[in-house]
């Protein structure tokens, strides 16, 4: 009887010890980055708040959209490292709110998303004071302030004050269509006491307007790196404008006027309308005979190496071409069917 009792006690103690060890292991597990989803405004606001929590969710948190969302108010600022995966959906500012505001500590990546109908005096869609990366996105019908000292209809890259690091925006495989502002209908790059640098590659700008300068790009003291991109069909103003700012031509750009630094005026790129050409976001296709087709040699400026697809996800360069196209859209050669010749 005594042995049975001791055996029972030992069994209970062993079970309690195992439970305690399991609980301890659970409690000491390090916090990890979050993978969040959002299909409504409230869910997106909550997801950004949680992703900004570096104590419970350190590192790069990912928010994946599951539906088109219209903003009901301003979203929380981005203060940490966050990735928004748009999955081809749209974020609509309702002509009232800008979509995102990235503060000095923020490191924000947005991809496969349409950002439309944003509105703000500075940065109708996004204001960046930290680090911003844009991949495979379309900025459509966004509006910045219409004055000689405001704008950035799509993006306002704002150099910081107080010795903070340079405000940096990197854009690849993206389309900017019908955005407007006083300075920088699409992009306003503004350096304060510290730097402001924007780098643009394989992107297409069309139909943007700038009342006081730079329908596509305006750089106020800051610097812009431009390569492999199309600037065409402005609604009003010149393609580029500068207030003591600068622009480097890093190769293979097609700009319809001669206002973008040393880039000479180019021919009409023959862009189609903004529409669904396949892929997650709308693009503007190149028409047959466009001077933007087959211009960038393979392995130059990332063609086929670091940049292997266009905005839609189509292969760069096209399988039937040895060179890449300028802009966000990679033209595909028409399919040709060869039938055997049968002689009788």
pLDDT tens by residue, the chain, 344 residues: 444 444 454 554 555 545 544 444 344 456 788 999 999 999 999 999 999 999 999 999 999 999 999 999 999 999 999 999 999 999 999 999 999 999 999 999 999 999 999 999 999 999 999 999 999 999 999 999 999 999 999 999 998 765 667 899 999 999 999 999 999 999 999 987 668 999 999 999 999 999 999 999 999 999 999 999 999 999 999 999 999 999 999 999 999 999 999 999 999 999 999 999 999 999 999 999 999 999 999 999 999 999 999 999 999 999 888 999 999 999 998 644 444 555 55
Closest C-alpha among 316, 273, 274, 311 to residue 113: 311
CB distance 57 to 31 below 8 Å? yes
Q: What is the pLDDT of residue 165?
A: 76
Give me the torsion for CA of 48, 54, 56, 62, rounded to 10°. Answer: 40
CB distance 128 to 103 below 8 Å? no
User: Residue 199: enclosing H or E segment and its boundaries?
Assistant: strand 196-201
Task: Copy the structure tokens of residue 39.
Answer: 């299909």
Q: What is the pLDDT of residue 341?
A: 52
SS3 114: strand
Q: Omega before 216 cis (within 30°)?
A: no
Q: What is the pLDDT of residue 162?
A: 59
Q: What is the pLDDT of residue 80?
A: 97
Q: What is the pLDDT of residue 16?
A: 52
Q: What is the pLDDT of residue 3?
A: 47
Task: Copy the structure tokens of residue 171.
Answer: 């854009």
Q: From the CB of residue 56, how many other CB atoms can be counted at a distance below 10 Å?
A: 9
Q: How far apart are CA 137 and CA 140, in angstroms?
A: 10
pTM, entire model? 0.89
Q: For 163, which DSSP code?
A: T
Q: What is the pLDDT of residue 12?
A: 46
Q: Cβ neighbours of residue 316 under 8 Å, at least 6 residues apart?
A: 202, 303, 304, 307, 308, 309, 310, 324, 325, 330
Q: Cβ neighbours of residue 119 under 8 Å, at least 6 residues apart?
A: 93, 95, 96, 97, 98, 142, 143
CB distance 114 to 140 below 8 Å? yes
Q: What is the pLDDT of residue 1?
A: 47
CB distance 278 to 258 below 8 Å? no
């Amino acid at each position: 009887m005594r042995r049975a009792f001791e055996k029972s006690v030992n069994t209970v103690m062993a079970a309690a010890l195992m439970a305690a060890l399991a609980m301890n292991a659970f409690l000491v597990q390090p916090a990890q980055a979050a993978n969040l989803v959002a299909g409504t405004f409230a869910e997106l606001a909550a997801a950004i708040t949680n992703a900004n929590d570096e104590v419970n969710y350190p590192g790069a948190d990912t928010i994946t959209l599951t539906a088109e969302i219209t903003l009901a108010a301003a979203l929380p600022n981005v203060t940490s490292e966050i990735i928004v995966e748009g999955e081809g959906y749209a974020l609509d500012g309702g002509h009232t709110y800008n979509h995102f505001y990235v503060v000095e500590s923020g490191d924000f990546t947005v991809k496969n998303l349409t950002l439309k109908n944003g509105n703000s005096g500075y940065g109708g869609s996004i204001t960046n004071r930290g680090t911003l990366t844009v991949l495979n996105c379309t900025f459509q019908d966004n509006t910045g302030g219409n004055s000689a000292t405001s704008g950035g209809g799509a993006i306002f890259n704002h150099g910081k004050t107080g010795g903070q690091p340079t405000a940096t925006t990197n854009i690849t495989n993206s389309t900017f269509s019908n955005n407007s502002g006083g300075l920088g209908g699409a992009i306003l790059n503004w350096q304060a006491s510290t730097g402001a640098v924007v780098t643009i590659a394989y992107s297409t700008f069309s139909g943007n307007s700038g009342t006081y300068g730079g329908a596509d790009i305006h750089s106020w003291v800051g610097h812009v790196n431009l390569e492999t991109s199309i600037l065409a069909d402005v609604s009003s103003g010149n393609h580029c404008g500068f207030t003591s700012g600068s622009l480097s031509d890093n190769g293979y750009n097609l700009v319809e006027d001669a206002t973008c630094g040393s880039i000479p005026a180019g021919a009409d790129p023959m862009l189609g309308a903004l529409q669904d050409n396949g892929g997650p976001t709308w693009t503007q296709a190149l028409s047959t005979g466009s001077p933007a087709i087959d211009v960038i040699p393979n392995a130059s400026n990332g063609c086929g190496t670091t940049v292997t697809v266009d905005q839609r996800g189509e292969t760069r360069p096209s399988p039937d071409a040895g060179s890449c196209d300028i802009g966000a859209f990679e033209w595909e050669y028409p399919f040709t069917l060869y039938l055997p010749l049968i002689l009788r």
